[in-house]
Structure 1
Amino acid sequence: MSADTLLAGTATGIAAAVQRGEVSASAMVQASLARITATDARVNAFTDLTAQRALERAATLDARHAAGDTAALPLLGVPFAVKNLFDVQGLATLAGSKIERERAPALRDGPLVERLEAAGAVLVGALNMDEYAYGFTTENSHAGATHNPHDLARSAGGSSGGSGAAIAAGQVPLTLGSDTNGSIRVPSSLCGVFGLKPTYGRLPRHGSYPFVASLDHLGPFARSVPDLALSYDLLQGWEAADPGCVQRPIEPTHATLARGAGGLRIAVLGGYFHEHALPEARAAVERVAAALGVTRRVELPEVARARAAAFLISNAECATLHLGDLRTRAQDFEPLSRDRFLAGALLPAAWVLQAQRVRRWFAQRAAELFGQVDVLLAPATPCVAPRLGTEWLELNGQRLPARPSLGLLTQPISCIGLPVCAVPVWGCSEAQPGLPIGVQVIAAPWREDHALRVGAALEAAGVVRSPVAALD
């Protein structure tokens, strides 16, 4: 099988082929770099390529393979890329901004980058995002907008838009992103790829540029659930330099996928999650529920308040982080980001305290619900990918601002740090049958295995999938 064909497949398929000697790590990296060169002028997923580093790393892996020293590398020769808020040695950690371009380059890779490379993967570059991760569309005025590979006139989602688009475009089979209010799940939904937001505190965030410390999560995107589970397993582990990382033993999930959804209590989240979804989003959930034999409907109370709490907490925390630059060089921020930061700086402390109370109360209600079920199903976005530049969404009789409203269904879940596997469903929109839309498979804290098992069962049944876009 050629390197180009393998590149359009899965990370585990690539690693197996390299281990068998059917293709070299160098050939896989060259295929990835060639695909990026051929497609990224249209997609704009990448902001930096690490070509020399990648080729040197691949050559080292090939030499180790020739010496019989790669059996313990489960991602041998797999090209991957990371959102440009991850530290990459020799690159400035941009976080999608103009201001950070002036900072000194990172002296070392972030821990999650190191962990994937230690497993044999090869970093090929850094990916576009919304400025400082504050957005859901990756319409970045500094680096340009990232385009959805399945329809180049449409949004790839955000803020990890480059991370979703790079997989959908067939440039790499594995990426890393971040999710504060939905920034893994929204691009997963709009680009038709798999994404995992782990439990808050599960993966270390040291070596990445923060957005909202009490809400930030890091996690992987992939073209299959087994790839997602394998990469998540390799990313696990406590990091002493990260005070938000929980000292919890590694709990592998990849080996549990064969169990499927059997024995799990699954329900559809209704109420707010039904009311704030267009027909295509509802249809995606119904298709997934039907495939799993799920008929039970449940609700969480006061979801809208939880989303409002997430907004207030995000505004207040991120504004504090950027106060110095807001005072001295406000003109160098994107206008929309700057205005949101300024609004956050003016929030009354009493509002933020009340938001934290709502957050705690909502987490308690979710815990009670997870005493009755193991997995919840909900739409990931209210609609398929909107056109770039869209200002307003018509949502069940309401006219809502488009950019923040793409996170309507993800923010309440982020607010309480639950693990979620986003899975892509196709053909649910009558107007846009060629576009995907995602479903959130939500589990109780620390039960990523439950969410991934359900995702794997759906993929095995052909209900969800992640094909490469036909850019050619």
Structure 2
Amino acid sequence: MKAAEIVLRDASSMAEAVRSGVVSAGDLVQASLDRIAATDVRVNAFTDVVRERALRRASQIDQSLASDRGARTRELPLLGVPFAVKNLFDIAGLPTLAGSKIEREATPARSDATLVRRLESAGAVLVGGLNMDEYAYGFTTENSHVGAAHNPHDLSRVAGGSSGGSGAAVAAGQVPITLGSDTNGSIRVPASLCGVFGLKPTFGRLPRTGSYPFVSSLDHLGPFARSVRDLAAAYDAMQGPETPGPRDPGCAQRSIELASPALGHGLHGLRIGVLGGWFRERAQPEAITAVDAVAQALGANHTVELPMVEAGRAAAFLITNAEGAALHLPDLRTRPQDFEPLSRDRFLAGALLPAAWVARAQRVRRLYAEQVASLLDRFDILLAPATPCAATPIGAEWFELHGQRLPVRPNMGVLTQPISCIGLPVCAVPVWGAHPSLPIGVQVIAAPWREDLVLRVAAALESAGVAQAPVAPL
């Protein structure tokens, strides 16, 4: 079998092909690079391709397999698998762009981000950096500096954001695994619109060391993949406390709690609720249809309300504006013309917020988290739409919802923001058939530190054929 065919499979199949000698790591990585070269002129997922580094790393893997270290190397779970990262992750030798013009002038990173190193330690091979909204402030990845990331399932539509390049690269079959960040929904929104699986772990689960921050008290990092097995493998490889040295102060430093072994445990004993109210009122019919299909497959017939959800989202807005602005104040004062206009204006608004409002927002956030925790004592899993609609056309400013015209950019995160605000683990699963031609995602939500549950449910939905992530027929 040719590497060009194997590279369109999931990561676990790729690793097995390298492990068994069906294909070399070098040939597999070359096939990924070739597909990027052939498709990215249309998708625009990548901002950097580290070709020489990737081929050198793949060659090292092949040499190790042929040496007396081969048995140990064969055990690596992501052996030879190409992956890419949102360009707010440090990549040694490159400036960490964070989707901006300003950071192009930054000193190149001296080392890779912690999560990049961990994936490479598991055998994966980094091939590049990915397009995103400037400073992660957006939901569509219509980046004016490098151009919009295009949805591989319909190139005229957005890929979502702010990790749009991460979602698009997986959907396009360029790589099977990518990393993104999620502050208010920036993993789940692209996963929903691009039709791939995305995991936002519990806040503090994975270290953020070596990534450009947006809102430190809300930022999460996590993977995208075309299968739940791959998502769990990447997540498991990135877990664990950080060693002495520079550390993420928000990392919980928890011991590794593997999720992969739970994927086949099924649904027995799980108490599953479907979020109503806010989550149905702010969703188009296709988003509700997707949730209903998932609920039916899971046998979930309890509709529940998330308490204080509107207040929680309002708190998230204020905290995002204020913390995000504080990070960029020097550049806002001296070079405002180098920001994208929309992100600049949002940062300026955040800089003017009264401190008392922000303090109150944090108090509301804590009370909201306590209320939701009580609900999660009654339910193991909650279901909700990931986005209010399927992917909108690139350049569209508005979409229709129940007869109202709503602005696209702030409202693509209307259903994700109340969940990330309190740091819950969520897997976005892609559902087809609710919209005539596009995917739309459903959030599978659990209590803190129960990533094993959301991945277990996602695996059951994938096995049942309800959630699927096919490569886009570019």
Aligned pairs (5 A) from 1:199-218? 199-218=202-221
Letter aligned with residue 76 of structure 1: L
Alpha-carbon distance, 1:397 to partner:
2.7
Q: Distance in 1 between matches of 2:155 and 2:266?
A: 35
Alpha-carbon distance, 1:246 to partner:
0.4
Q: Could you report, residue by residue, the CA deviation over 1:75-110 in whole angstroms, capped at 9, with x for unpaired residues?
A: 011000000000000010000000000001000000
Match of 2:76 in 1: 73
Say whether 1:93 aligns with 2:99: no
Say whether 1:51 aligns with 2:54: no
Match of 1:460 in 2: 463
Say whether 1:113 aligns with 2:110: no
Q: 268, 279, 288: which one pairs with 1:262?
A: 268
Q: Distance in 2 between matches of 1:262 and 1:63?
A: 45
Letter aligned with residue 127 of structure 1: L
Q: Secondary structure at the match of 2:430?
A: strand
Say whether 1:127 aligns with 2:130: yes
Q: Could you report, residue by residue, the CA deviation over 1:369-405 in whole angstroms, capped at 9, with x for unpaired residues?
A: 0110000000000000000111112111322111110
Q: 421, 426, 430: which one pairs with 2:427?
A: 421
Task: Give the count of matched residue pairs.
Answer: 468
Q: Distance in 2 between matches of 1:294 and 1:7?
A: 36
Q: Distance in 2 between matches of 1:293 and 1:5?
A: 37
Alpha-carbon distance, 1:461 to partner:
0.6
Say whether 1:238 aligns with 2:241: yes
Alpha-carbon distance, 1:247 to partner:
2.1
Kindly report the root-mean-square deviation, in angstroms, between the aligned alpha carbons of the 2 structures: 0.7
Letter aligned with residue 378 of structure 1: A
Letter aligned with residue 328 of structure 2: H
Say whether 1:342 aligns with 2:345: no
Match of 1:381 in 2: 387
Q: Distance in 1 between matches of 2:426 and 2:267?
A: 15
Aligned pairs (5 A) from 1:386-397? 386-397=392-403
Q: Distance in 2 between matches of 1:185 and 1:281?
A: 14
Q: Distance in 2 between matches of 1:236 and 1:120?
A: 15
TM-score (norm 1): 0.98
Q: Distance in 2 between matches of 1:291 and 1:101?
A: 47
Q: Distance in 2 between matches of 1:6 and 1:443?
A: 34
Say whether 1:314 aligns with 2:320: yes
Match of 2:447 in 1: 444
Match of 1:63 in 2: 63
Match of 1:166 in 2: 169
Aligned pairs (5 A) from 1:278-357? 278-357=284-363
Alpha-carbon distance, 1:302 to partner:
2.2
Alpha-carbon distance, 1:186 to partner:
0.1
Alpha-carbon distance, 1:305 to partner:
1.4
Q: Distance in 1 between matches of 2:359 and 2:267?
A: 39
TM-score (norm 2): 0.98
Alpha-carbon distance, 1:125 to partner:
0.4
Deviates more, 1:296-305 or 1:378-387: 296-305
Q: Could you report, residue by residue, the CA deviation over 1:249-308 in whole angstroms, capped at 9, with x for unpaired residues?
A: 110000111102221111101110011000000000000000111111111122111111
Q: Secondary structure at the match of 2:382?
A: strand
Alpha-carbon distance, 1:127 to partner:
0.1
Say whether 1:156 aligns with 2:159: yes
Say whether 1:181 aligns with 2:187: no
Q: 360, 365, 368: which one pairs with 2:366?
A: 360
Alpha-carbon distance, 1:6 to partner:
1.5
Q: Distance in 2 between matches of 1:284 and 1:8?
A: 26
Letter aligned with residue 38 of structure 2: A
Say whether 1:104 aligns with 2:107: yes
Alpha-carbon distance, 1:237 to partner:
1.0
Deviates more, 1:69-78 or 1:35-44: 69-78
Match of 1:41 in 2: 41
Q: Distance in 1 between matches of 2:266 and 2:213?
A: 35
Q: Distance in 2 between matches of 1:354 and 1:378?
A: 27
Q: Could you report, residue by residue, the CA deviation over 1:313-349 in whole angstroms, capped at 9, with x for unpaired residues?
A: 0000010000000010000000000000000000011
Say whether 1:13 aligns with 2:13: yes
Letter aligned with residue 169 of structure 1: A
Letter aligned with residue 275 of structure 2: L
Q: Distance in 2 between matches of 1:441 and 1:313?
A: 25
Match of 1:83 in 2: 86
Q: Distance in 1 between matches of 2:8 and 2:468?
A: 13
Q: Secondary structure at the match of 2:466?
A: coil
Q: Distance in 1 between matches of 2:370 and 2:280?
A: 22
Q: Distance in 2 between matches of 1:228 and 1:92?
A: 27
Letter aligned with residue 201 of structure 1: G
Letter aligned with residue 453 of structure 2: H
Q: Distance in 2 between matches of 1:414 and 1:292?
A: 24
Q: Secondary structure at the match of 2:370?
A: helix
Q: Distance in 2 between matches of 1:419 and 1:183?
A: 14
Q: Distance in 1 between matches of 2:136 and 2:14?
A: 31
Deviates more, 1:387-396 or 1:183-192: 387-396
Q: Secondary structure at the match of 1:423?
A: strand
Q: Distance in 2 between matches of 1:144 and 1:260?
A: 42
Structure 1: runs of 5 or more not aligned: none
Q: Distance in 2 between matches of 1:233 and 1:443?
A: 17
Q: Distance in 1 between matches of 2:313 and 2:151?
A: 26
Q: Secondary structure at the match of 2:104?
A: helix
Q: Distance in 2 between matches of 1:162 and 1:438?
A: 17
Alpha-carbon distance, 1:467 to partner:
0.4
Q: Distance in 1 between matches of 2:39 and 2:274?
A: 38
Alpha-carbon distance, 1:233 to partner:
0.5
Structure 2: runs of 5 or more not aligned: none
